[in-house]
Structure 1
Amino acid sequence: MDDSTVISCWYKTRVYFRELVRLSYPPEFAAVGTRQYGQQAVRKREQPPHERAASHAPRSHESRPAGQSEHSFGQQRHQPEDPQLEAKVSGFEEYMNRLFSPLRFSPEVAQRVLTHGSHRLARQGHNAALSFMGRRVFSTYLLLFLQSSPNLMSTDDIEEIALNSLHTNLLGEHIAHEWGVGRVLVWQPSISSDKSINDVEALRSAGLYKVQGETVQAIMGAVYNQYGGSVAHRVFHTRVLPHLLVKGGLPRQFHEEVETICERLGGREGPLLGEAETPKVESLSS
């Protein structure tokens, strides 16, 4: 591998990390800079309580029917339309907490991760943003692995290797199958009227693997966003990369090294939290 390729990969890795850092902070941080953001936070904290309350615009009640309380109106608005869907949604949190135990996720995060933008439930939030973050995490860790691997040959194109190994459909076919994503994911496939919603071949042609792959990316995005790079790195090397040693995935020359790293981190069921780390539940707004 020549120097120009190394420099290009190094630059892309820096860009990925910079993007991950940007996504980990609130928009105000990137907009005004560290110093101004801190000054604004201090000024806001020093405001008297009545001024802080006055700075928030009152909630509009125009859409609420006359004579109906906000509480009862909210209950009606969130009343489940489909009992089967409601039962599935109620299992989102349990699935996420079981998948990477002892990592814990709030119901809000779990629902967002497992809801595709094609479903009507996406009006309450979907997984596109977390999927975007997860793709960057996958790319960063794989590029770092390839660049540091003694098995990388001078003729290897690591960009092509990364593109093929982390293809969304490949993630959806192998990782999602291993994690059981298809049993909990909600999405709305575009299937002709003469096909059944339970027809696997019809679902595949409608983009099942792509949708499942995006959900795998969203799960990684949620892990990184809530637990940081150390935990996400362990997930990548113990729960993701070992399942990509398949046809069309990571080239065979890296397989032994992948297994060695996985075993060094405790195996495919190895611990994800260090001694100083504890499970935490956060909402997307925290």
Structure 2
Amino acid sequence: MKLLYPFLLSIILTLSTADRRCRGVNFNGKYYDIEMIKEGINKIHQMALNRNDNTVYFTYDQLTDVPMRSLGYVKLDTREAGLIGGIRNASGVAIDHVRNKVYVGGMDGLYVLNKEGMPEKYPVYDSIEKLFFKDVLFFVNSKKEAHVFDNGILKPMIELQHEDVDDLIIDDDDNVFFLQNGTLFRVRLGTRAINIHERYKVNVLSVDPYYRAFIGTSEGVFVYNKYKFALDKVSNIRDLRSLTFNKNLEPVYAVVDVLIKLNVNPLKCVEF
């Protein structure tokens, strides 16, 4: 850890947009200090932060003879970490913050964590890869099909029928952003007119607590500007594996095999 920390710190600071008079990592106009939460997480697949209790849930690849994914968690306030069993090949995770529900998708379908933190099965038996929650639950299955699960009713996502989907999010203006082999597309809920954002190779989709769409690429992190119908760059941090935000809009993300939180730096700029 002592050897790894300075190495990663130097990489992350190099990727920041801080100029030579400023200290920390610049993200969306603010400077942050780096806090390393957990290391050694192999290939995080999806991550979500429950802002009700400040717990990060993530699915990741287990280093076993038979490839499989598991569901892990870290409580940011206490740094308690652990695994949650009972979900075969856990892959997708999403949070309903209003009802304080943690949804998890796996090889055998859809689950919700009960008050004891144990999974309970829903009558959905599709193999789920990615989850997203906004008013209702959306998921992408292993066949790259997008579906909606609302009050126990399962139906295809009409806007994305006949489209291969790797991941999706929905912003505050009902824009659906989805990925096909790293290419970003956009369609508005209730319509079928699909737009392409082909400039960047995308690896991460996320929203903040206000459902602003953030796009992680090989060239940095962007936010969707709904007035210009374009992506505005907000950080030089590249090649993220996952990204989320706490209630104070502080980013929490995974890069390589490390989970990192950015804390607002009260000394934004200092002279060397």
Structure of larger gyration radius: 1
- Of Structure 1 and Structure 2, the greater helix share is in 1
TM-score normalised by the chain length of structure 1: 0.21
The structure with higher relative contact order (CA 8 Å, sep 6+) is 1
TM-score, length basis structure 2: 0.22
Q: Which has the higher strand share?
A: 2
